[in-house]
A and B are shown apart, each in its own frame.
Chain A
Amino acid sequence: MTTSADQSQQLSERVSEAFANAKPLHLRGSGSKDFLGEAVNGETLDVTGHAGVVNYEPGELVMTARAGTPLAELEAVLDESHQMLAFEPPHFGANATLGGTIATGLSGPARPFAGAARDFVLGCRIINGQGQILSFGGEVMKNVAGYDLSRLMAGAYGTLGVLLDVSLKVLPVPRTQVTRVFEHTAAQALQQISDWQRKPWPITGAYWEDGKTYLRLAGATSSVESACEKLGGETLDDDGPFWRAVREHERPFFAQSDRPLWRISVPPAAPMLDIDGECVIDWGGAQRWVQTDMEAVALRRVAKEAGGHATVYRGEAQPRFHPMGESILALQQRLKKSMDPAGILNPGRIYPEL
């Protein structure tokens, strides 16, 4: 167990000071996701000391914890009550924090079926770029008082505010989980996964790699069993480690490192993309990982034509995130300015302009 400590005041003083001096800050959980996005020049603001579970009531399906709390610790606490973070966040390192998880907005294989990190955010307490401590949302399931600034924090990479506490909706762990494996080409997999999803089956993962589709079902025992009966396929024994490896990029595919690794996010049923390279498919088709030497502009054009966008995970391409259109970027710059007028919170972390 990490020590539980409330450092809101100290952190807010640090930000106020940086605001007064217009000195940029580099917000850091434990840096497990530093490889994502651009490097930040600035004094490090370590948020890991602000840690601990603030409130957890299994009956309310809500957990509120400080941003520095290790993700592994949260998951252990939830597990004791047979509950979980249904968006299955990747850790990418043993000390990954709640703050880093929400700030990057990353979600695991369950994402298309259960929802993304942002979908589970109910509220948060943040420090804005002026050092003010602000609370948005709350611990209730429905809340439309004021703009939804708490969900906006998910995926903002700490460029709009320092996360202090986050309230998340949590869910019961399904009673049964089964994974079925099928022999498919990639194109067959996409078609099949799309068809399966029109059935009322409790699908919670659909991944394709090297000629095989892995379909995960989880929920009431009866419903998993009846879906399996109709589906056929081979059962993958002890499937926990398999899905953990998919989530953590620990499948052999991700270990190769001779070519750049791209994440391509597209509508799930988009056909196979015309990109020369090796590919695995997650999120039921909506997230495609490709190892390729294809030039960034051309690759991004392919992604965009398919209705999506491309991010570099490993490689030199710049910018790392898919460039935005002019007017949407201008709007995002104004939004950034509204939360962080001096531009001191992780400037340039996602785009040089933000």
Chain B
Amino acid sequence: MADTAIADAAEQVLASRPDKAQLIEKLVAKLPEHVVLHAEEDLRPFECDGLSAYRKLPMIVVLPETIEQVQIAMQVCYANDVAVVARGAGTGLSGGALPMENGVLLSLAKFKKILDIDTANRRATVQPGVRNLAISEAVSDLGLYYAPDPSSQIACSIGGNVAENSGGVHCLKYGLTTHNIVELEIVTVEGERMTIGSEALDTPGYDLLALMTGSEGLLGVIVQVVVKLLPKPERAQVVLAAFDDVRKAGDAVAAIIQAGIVPAGLEMLDNPAIVATEEFVHADYPTDAAAILLCEVDGTHAEVDEHIADVREVVEREGATEVRVSRDDAERAIFWAGRKAAFPAMGRISPDYYCMDGTIPRKALADVLIGIGELSKKYGQRVANVFHAGDGNLHPLILYDANIEGELERTEEFGGAICELCLEHGGTITGEHGVGVEKIDQMCVQFPPDELTQFHAVKQAFDSKGLLNPGKAVPTLHRCAEFGAMHVHNGELPFPELERL
């Protein structure tokens, strides 16, 4: 069976003990010495990504400067059966770029050039290490921008965005990364360069562009990206609506969408998030509200007027206790300041926080938020919710202190319970942050064995030795059996063929 083959391959790779000195020698024989890092102090900065609870020192870091060097690094690793973890800016929140002690970390940090801006076709060709925001900044004078805007956009790389299929506040209207790229250059595990997609709107054969997007570095290394650019809207305006009840706020989200409005962004903060951000940035949020919605509409001047009136009417009908409309761009920035600072604000009120990412149908928002509140009581840990409400994409932030014995473990358990709550409501365990190492066990709950086996077979078509980012994103059936997740499929016990450990 494909799964057994790939599971064996992956387990071999995970357990392998490559000779570090020998590998360094082989790499520097073909690469400039300064791109191969192996001293502990040089490796330390790469030991974790945004999920800092997990740390590992990579065996070797390769920091290539050209695509040819990426190819060479991949060829050497392939020939020596060494695993490779690609890394962009390391802002990932699921441990996707967590290094391996017996593997190479391939950092794309040096690939920072915007290679071409094509105004006639409204596209930009960029290297993978280019920061998300840098693209919009570079084309701003031309009246254009790149739409997907993760909150981490000042830091995260476009290569990482493609690998995670990242979203952002404006994805409700303008789509995710997968909707906003047209072509990729990748380097395969064997070190071959390949073009995926094209500058036309479709490409012969299978849609590999869709498959590569969100594949978390398991199918290939992205070395160049062609993104779509959009004209900047004439105007954007935001409505801030406060509610005295989370349920009303959740229902208002569904009502806005149902009214036929497609806002540019529709975000929600619950009371703990409002209070924490207000103390931090003073955006003048109503701190007594149970929840606030920030609803942005954009377009031509006339369109914005029309939609702002519609949104106001809907939220008032849904019982908003207060409604404010931004008067100008300065005020709009203030309305957003709190939302944008929400994560750092949590960092101020708690030593650590753990960010979840489940996505649910919008109609389930209120029930799930209330359910999370109940779990919070059960686990005795505080939660703040600040999230992409319009897409139904939750980001419960569980506050904890890693220095307190057992608190991280309890937090992870709580996080797992939130994932399962989302699944119960017809949702998914991850909307935009990826599975990485963090949600690998919940994958066993979301997917039955046949689906997981199919994923492994697809992986094998790209990477038969299982060298690219092994142990991430898709769990082996053995791992699921150990985890003991109960995905009861058609009333059968999962993994009956596997021994319980």
Interface on A for B, CB 8 Å cutoff? Answer: 57-62, 82, 105, 111-112, 115-116, 118-119, 128, 132-136, 138-149, 151-152, 154-156, 160, 171-172, 175, 194, 197-202, 219-223, 225-227, 265-269, 283, 286-287, 307-309, 311, 321-324, 327-329, 331-332, 334-339, 350-351, 354
Contact = CB atoms under 8 A, between A and B. Distances in A.
Interface string B390-416: 011100000000000000000000000
Contact of A339 (B199, B200, B205, B457): B457
B257 to A, nearest CB: 6
B461 A335 contact: yes
A75 to B, nearest CB: 17
Nearest to B254: A59
Interface string B199-242: 11111111110110111000100000000000111100000000
A58 B206 contact: no
B434 interface: yes
8 closest A-B pairs (Cβ-Cβ)? A222-B302, A223-B303, A151-B210, A142-B431, A269-B120, A334-B461, A172-B260, A338-B457
Given A59-B257, A143-B359, A138 B428 contact: yes
A335 B391 CA distance: 31
18 contacts: A116-B201, A119-B178, A134-B451, A138-B428, A140-B359, A140-B391, A141-B393, A145-B439, A146-B446, A147-B474, A148-B211, A149-B454, A199-B231, A200-B299, A226-B300, A287-B201, A308-B198, A324-B205
A132 B2 CA distance: 14
Contacts of A132: 450, 454
Interface in B240-294: 254-255, 257-258, 260-262
Interface residues of B, number: 94
A50 B362 CA distance: 28
A106 B65 CA distance: 40
B228 to A, nearest CB: 10
B198 A307 contact: yes
A268 B121 contact: yes
A145 B446 contact: yes
B4 interface: no
B483 interface: no
B499 to A, nearest CB: 23
A283 B455 CA distance: 34
B260 A309 contact: no
Nearest to A219: B303
Given A200-B300, A222-B302, A339 B454 contact: yes
A328 B205 contact: yes
B339 interface: no
A111 B201 contact: yes
A151 B181 CA distance: 14
Contacts of B362: 59-60
B431 A112 contact: no
A194 B144 CA distance: 13
Contact of B231 (A133, A198, A219, A327): A198
Interface string B4-35: 00000000000000000000000000000000
A142 B206 contact: no
Contacts of B447: 145-146
Nearest to A354: B205
Given A140-B361, A144-B164, A307-B198, A152 B210 contact: yes
Contact of B210 (A82, A148, A327): A148
Contacts of B393: 141-142
Given A147-B459, A307-B200, 17 more contacts: A115-B175, A139-B361, A140-B427, A142-B393, A145-B428, A146-B447, A149-B455, A200-B232, A202-B300, A220-B300, A226-B300, A283-B201, A308-B198, A309-B200, A311-B204, A324-B204, A338-B457
Contact of A222 (B123, B206, B300, B446): B300
B127 interface: no
A339 B450 CA distance: 12
Interface string B92-135: 00000000000000000000000000111111000000000000
B234 A222 contact: no
B77 interface: no
A337 B299 CA distance: 46
